[in-house]
Amino acid sequence: MNRYPLWKYVLILVIVAMGVLYALPNIYGQSPVVQIKAKDDAAVTESTLDKVKSLLNDGEIAHDQVVIDGDTAVVKFSNLDNQREAQDLLKKQLNGFDTAMNLKPNVPEWLENLGGSAMNLGLDLRGGVHFLLEVDMVEATANKKKQLRSDLTAALIKQKIPKKKILWEGDSLVVGFRTAADVNKALDLIEDDFTELTFSENISGDTFELKGLLSEQSLRSIKENALEQNLITLRSRVNEVGVAEPIIQQQGLERIVVQLPGVQDTTVAKNILDATATLEYRATEIHGAAALQAHASGRTPPGSTLYFESTGEPIYLKNRVIATGNQLIGAEATIDQQTGQHAVNVQLNSMGANRMLEFTKNNVGNFMGVVFKERVPIAKNEAGEMQYRSKEEVISNASINGVFSNRFRTTGGFTQKEANDLALLLRAGALAAPVQIVEERTIGPSLGQDNIDAGVLSVQIGLAMVLVFMLIYYRMFGLIANIALTINVILMVACLSLFGATLTLPGIAGIVLTVGMAVDANVLIFERIKEELRDGNTVQGSIKSGYEKAFSTIADANVTTLIAAVVLFAFGTGPIKGFAVTLSIGIMTSMFTAIVLSRAIVNLIYGRKKRLKSIAI
């Protein structure tokens, strides 16, 4: 009556064994390390390790081991003080190398080969860095205005409508024409395509103008879109760097919070977050000797702008931009097989591809320049306006050898690191507006360890109290429930590790709550068995009825809680998501252990006894 087939016992045993295996990495902890990587991305050699060991020994800094991990050297320490001292020493003494502090799990190699990994820990447990970024909304509006002016100019040129001028006067884009017919023709063309602007005609005497006004709603929409695009871009950049479970969210109307768990060296993070590097592709007006002569005379050809190549030589590029970094949808560092130089393969979206195709069709044999633009925020002036350090440099000026559109290659004498960094920034996208770091906090992992210890202690106390109560009140069945409850916690930890979920303090709260909910299912089953026994049912029949009749109640309670957890995950942010994840996983594992696993144990103990007269419940 109360027996499982052999295959079901084997399946349960396999699930439990897998849970124990993949929960195991979490008992090994993590060690503070300093990672060392060559600035030119050259491989780290044994001589590098010897030099590092020598510097640490001379500085009398205790360390556990120095090993090669891929293209980096990793120095492991037993405490954080030694890690910080080593970081300061190596940064000063080890020329040609970048160093960064991190925390590395101590998972054995054999366990890693089986796919085992420790849980990711959130900022409140692992430590890391917290940034508060402010978006320059003045610059966001200015960038949008430039884009609208450029797009409107391109649309008029494409339709061959001549214009006398096009410029911004405050929040109005004024376009001057030669005749009233041109005004009407232009209005029919652009009114539906440029919905951000409200157009009006100004025709009087010799004045033939269109005015496109940016309304308050359009300005607000520009700022909201800039903030949203910056959020998306920052998430992409952080994902490219490989930070586990970062928190990137809006705060107010102009600020963004970025939390990077596990990152202890803020330099790399800051370089990625506030960089506004992008590319512009422009037609070359004059270069070489002609550009040198024009620069010496101080005469700039009409419709062109003076730039400088990386060698310092002047070059004049046409003002019209063919494609920009905003139109890039893919970028990958590579090596040009013909020249052997490092390069970046670029992919454009449909708008950029159409412009590039149209340009290259008519300019085979001519030159095209690639402008690298970077703006780094410095500080605000007395008026509250953000100040920048700008860099504009022509990184490539190459002959157009054939017609192309959405896919092509950019070369510029890059090193491997420069090509990789440029590809990373282009893949992640350009920021819609520059950001400035207005607040920066480093949260040490020692504080995180205190939180971990307190969290683990709370789980241990809660679990111990439940185990003692169940053992006293339900005797043998209480012992069975305790075994199931312990395995439930193990399976939760294993799932969190396998899914790559991040454990935070609210996540630990979710585990504690799940412990209580898991034992509640056993209580419902055991009380139902006792009720069946009081009604005069046989012992075997009472066990069977207890599990079957309590199932619907347990399922209803857990499904409604699971729905609430899903809603929390869908609409919550940061810590709320962490709570929802652990709660959801805990519900599923507790259903398995309370209903399937505990019954399997009961069946093993009592199921083979046909004339069973009493049970210890």
Q: Is the pLDDT of residue 71 over 80?
A: no
Task: Say what the pLDDT of residue 491 is.
Answer: 92
Distance between CA atoms of residues 557 and 198, nearest Å = 56
pLDDT tier at 378 (50, 70, 90 boundaries)?
Answer: low
- Spatial CB neighbours of 433, under 8 Å, sequence gap ≥ 6: 135, 136, 137, 139, 140, 143, 226, 230
Of 42 and 196, more confident: 196
Measured CA distances, 75 to 39, 61, 330 (Å): 18, 11, 35
Q: What percent of the chain has pLDDT over 90?
A: 3
Domains of the chain with bracketed CATH: 6-25+445-606 (1.20.1640.10), 30-105 (3.30.70.260), 137-219 (3.30.1360), 274-441 (3.30.1360.200)
* CA pseudo-torsion sign 235, 237, 240, 246: negative
Cβ contact 125:244 at 8 Å: no
Q: Tens of pLDDT along 527-582?
A: 888 888 888 888 888 888 888 888 888 888 888 888 988 888 887 766 677 788 88
Distance between CA atoms of residues 450 and 64, nearest Å = 23
Task: Say what the pLDDT of residue 15 is.
Answer: 92
Q: Tens of pLDDT along 293-313?
A: 888 888 888 888 898 887 788
Most confident of 9-23, 241-255, 379-393, 462-476: 9-23
Distance between CA atoms of residues 579 and 503, nearest Å = 9
Q: Is the pLDDT of residue 12 over 80?
A: yes
Cβ contact 71:9 at 8 Å: no
- Spatial CB neighbours of 521, under 8 Å, sequence gap ≥ 6: 550, 554, 558, 590, 591, 594, 595
Q: Is the pLDDT of residue 413 over 70?
A: no
Mean per-residue pLDDT, 247-274: 75
pLDDT tier at 265 (50, 70, 90 boundaries)?
Answer: low
| Residue 609 CA, distance from chain mean position | 57
118 DSSP 8-state letter? P
Task: Say what the pLDDT of residue 13 is.
Answer: 92
For residue 96, which of 31, 32, 47 has the smallest C-alpha distance? 47
For residue 406, which of 374, 360, 446, 474 has the smallest C-alpha distance? 360
Q: Is the pLDDT of residue 279 over 80?
A: no
Task: Say what the pLDDT of residue 363 is.
Answer: 86
Task: End-to-end CA distance of the chain: give it in Å, rounded.
Answer: 19
Q: Is the pLDDT of residue 430 over 70?
A: no
Q: Is the pLDDT of residue 285 over 60?
A: yes
Task: Say what the pLDDT of residue 116 is.
Answer: 84
For residue 249, which of 263, 264, 239, 234 has the smallest C-alpha distance? 234
Mean per-residue pLDDT, 365-377: 78
Q: Taking all residues of the chain, what is their mean pLDDT, rounded to a whole number?
A: 80
Q: Is the pLDDT of residue 113 over 60?
A: yes
Task: Say what the pLDDT of residue 614 is.
Answer: 74
DSSP 529-575: HHHHHHTT--HHHHHHHHHHHHHHHHHHHHHHHHHHHHHHHHH--TH
Neighbours of 311 (CB within 10 A): 8
Q: Tens of pLDDT along 77-96?
A: 888 778 878 888 887 888 77
- Spatial CB neighbours of 32, under 8 Å, sequence gap ≥ 6: 76, 77, 79, 80, 82, 83, 101, 102, 103, 445
Task: Say what the pLDDT of residue 287 is.
Answer: 87
Q: Is the pLDDT of residue 445 over 60?
A: no
- Spatial CB neighbours of 532, under 8 Å, sequence gap ≥ 6: 541, 542, 545, 546
| Residue 525 CA, distance from chain mean position | 44
150 burial level (CB within 10 Å; 0-12, 13-18, 19+): middle
Q: Is the pLDDT of residue 384 over 70?
A: no
Mean per-residue pLDDT, 195-223: 84
Distance between CA atoms of residues 23 and 497, nearest Å = 7
* Least confident piece of the model among 305-319, 399-413, 589-603: 399-413
Distance between CA atoms of residues 615 and 543, nearest Å = 10
Of 425 and 496, more confident: 496
Mean per-residue pLDDT, 497-509: 78
- Spatial CB neighbours of 426, under 8 Å, sequence gap ≥ 6: 278, 279, 325, 328, 331, 344, 346
Mean per-residue pLDDT, 45-63: 85
Q: Is the pLDDT of residue 509 over 60?
A: yes
Of 104 and 165, more confident: 165
Mean per-residue pLDDT, 101-110: 79
DSSP 252-263: TTTEEEEEEET-
Task: Say what the pLDDT of residue 304 is.
Answer: 87
Cβ contact 414:341 at 8 Å: yes
- Spatial CB neighbours of 440, under 8 Å, sequence gap ≥ 6: 129, 130, 131, 132, 266, 270
pLDDT tier at 319 (50, 70, 90 boundaries)?
Answer: confident
